[in-house]
A and B are shown apart, each in its own frame.
Chain A
């Protein structure tokens, strides 16, 4: 992919417009319309690598359980008033039909720019549901990896230039680092496309030493609150400064806070975050060329499409100002 300095992208989801209701993983007329409008908005903003907005998604894990025919339990809480429904693996995992192929093909058909194909990773799928079938974690995670691998191969064959494997569960069982890596490797090995893993809201200092070994081209990491803390107070930034991930692979630090209730940042704040990220991660020109810029996570939890668009505008203006300085 031919991209400018500090390529811009976003993580995946976007708040659903009011006309999209009842999404459970499949495209319908309304989610097609929302995807089309969102692709147009991203192009107008000048974003370099686009996402489809995931308007068809109910939940990043539950949709997979549904697509594979597993039962789904009632709501459990993830934080405050946010809930999700955990699927239950009660028989062997087996993929019979594509899960996200149609969605990717539709989004990519709307633009010449690269659209990320976004999959949920095997560890996250294993952790965010229940299991009453597999006897060991290895069996469970690697069986999910086989499913995601099949999907990734289908996406690569369909022309995806960039595949992102979302693994927000990366630090949940930090003692399972090898299993996490093995699952990810099973998905990405030999795909022949640019690969990303997105991670967020974890105790990253616990897993940071192992991140250079992850079998992907880029690590996309939620970082804005750490960038606000600054080098002095953020243990993670100190670890990054000592051994920048950019020595090993590309990196996308999140510079926009997507949590609900957090207002639209001003451009100065985001410029400051980017500058701190560059101070930590880009000690050389080569490292600088390895940095992408995006928000912390998908905008789904931001709830308001208006706020999410305003945040993306601020990010793009901040990147423009930083690029001019470099």
Chain B
């Protein structure tokens, strides 16, 4: 079993992270040095990837330490969008900027840049991670001049934006799209029915390993079926929120996909305790024979940014250790 993390990694809590926080504050006040910020971001990316690797994470992400928020950041790289009011990300006290779409959405520059390259220099298996087009559309508003008929139409436009990006990522070890809007409280099965076709069109013609990750919710049989029908290699599921998912999966599986087993709690609901590795191992063992462990990942259910850096580091180590022990 492989191990991975999801979403942005905590930035502060190290000398480099604290320097970056202070320099960004200076920059926003009109006194900072943009070059220094760039350099600190690069250093911090290297630092957090090394931290993940040291924790035993076999497929880290880049830490995403430059994103304003985890839901709408790719739209900074697109024309046709401006940012409106600030909203909470689902049930958390973490915020995103609502995207206001006024005209045709066009990619104006690459989404994946120097920081991903800096991460790859530390570890060759660093995955690329984006919010998914469905979730981004659900967190957008159509403006008066928008050419899109509804948010599903907008999701297609976002998927086209990602198609352009994917064409530049031919050697990526894994590309992950996070789609919490498919499962978070309030998600409706009638809404998510469009997602398999959306992904078919977005990924058509690409020979890339792709994962879709979901979190913050429980899974109806219909939702699970929709997720398992996606044309991707790995489907990430939130076992921290849905404690009955194991039994449901045992009924439904096996299937040919890897499963992202988000069993380690990221602290998004205020739990700060560390899991007992033996109990997690027991829970995982009951999935053996149903889930193809070779293709699958153990992970946190969502971003570890809900935790302070020292706790995140220990959670990552827990994930690394359990994945290693279950593989043995």
Contacts and interface: CB of A to CB of B under 8 A. Distances in A.
Interface of A: 73-81, 83-86, 88, 126-132, 168-169, 171-175, 201-203, 206, 222, 224-226, 228-229, 232-233, 259-261, 303-304
Given A76-B10, A80-B69, A173-B91, A260 B86 contact: no
Given A127-B93, A172-B91, A81 B85 contact: no
B86 A201 contact: yes
B273 A132 contact: yes
Given A79-B68, A83-B12, A225 B84 contact: yes
14 contacts: A75-B13, A76-B305, A79-B94, A80-B68, A80-B69, A81-B24, A128-B93, A129-B270, A131-B270, A131-B271, A131-B272, A174-B185, A233-B141, A304-B29
Contact of B144 (A77, A171, A233): A233
A73 B312 CA distance: 12
Interface string B93-119: 111101000000000000000000000
B271 A130 contact: yes
Nearest to B186: A206
Contacts of B160: none
A143 to B, nearest CB: 14
B95 A79 contact: yes
A225 B100 CA distance: 11
B272 A132 contact: yes
Interface of B is mostly: loop
B88 A73 contact: no
Contact of A75 (B12, B84, B86, B94): B12
B25 interface: yes
B47 to A, nearest CB: 16
B11 interface: yes
Given A88-B272, A229-B84, A229-B141, A172 B92 contact: yes
Nearest to A169: B93
A203 B143 CA distance: 18
B267 interface: yes
B308 A260 contact: no
A127 B87 CA distance: 16
B123 interface: no
Nearest to A200: B86
Given A76-B308, A169-B93, A259 B141 contact: no
A259 B84 contact: no
The range of chain B's interface size is 35 or more
A111 to B, nearest CB: 31
A90 to B, nearest CB: 9
Contacts of A233: 141-144
A198 to B, nearest CB: 15
A203 B270 contact: no
A40 B21 CA distance: 34
A74 B308 contact: yes
Contacts of B307: 73, 76
B311 interface: yes
B310 interface: yes
B186 to A, nearest CB: 7
A131 B271 CA distance: 6
Which DSSP category, helix, strand, loop or mixed, fits chain A's interface? mixed
Contacts of A304: 29
Nearest to A203: B87
B86 A73 contact: no
B88 A83 contact: no
A81 B29 CA distance: 12
- Report which residue of B29, B86, B91 has the largest number of chain A beta carbons within 10 angstroms of its beta carbon: B86
Given A131-B270, A233-B141, A73 B308 contact: yes
Interface string B286-328: 0000000000000000000111111100000000000000000
Contacts of A86: 308
A75 B87 CA distance: 20
Contacts of B309: 74-75
Contacts of A83: 12, 21
B8 to A, nearest CB: 8
B13 A74 contact: yes
A130 B95 contact: no
A203 B144 CA distance: 21
Given A74-B13, A233-B143, A303-B29, A126 B270 contact: yes
Contact of A78 (B94, B141, B143): B94
A229 B68 CA distance: 23
A225 B86 CA distance: 9
Nearest to A234: B141
Nearest to A131: B270
Contacts of B28: 81, 260-261, 303
Interface string B137-157: 000011110000000000000
A40 B93 CA distance: 33
Interface in B43-97: 68-69, 84-88, 90-96
Interface string B257-289: 000000000010011110000000000000000
B84 A78 contact: no
B308 A77 contact: no
A201 B92 contact: no
Contacts of A81: 21, 24-25, 28
Given A83-B21, A127-B93, A131-B270, A77 B11 contact: yes
Kindly list the 6 A-B residue pairs having the minimum CB-CB distance in the complex, ordered from nearest.
A225-B85, A74-B308, A130-B272, A79-B95, A81-B24, A80-B68
Contacts of B25: 81
A203 B181 CA distance: 14
Contacts of B144: 232-233
A174 B88 CA distance: 12
Contacts of A225: 84-85, 98
B22 to A, nearest CB: 9
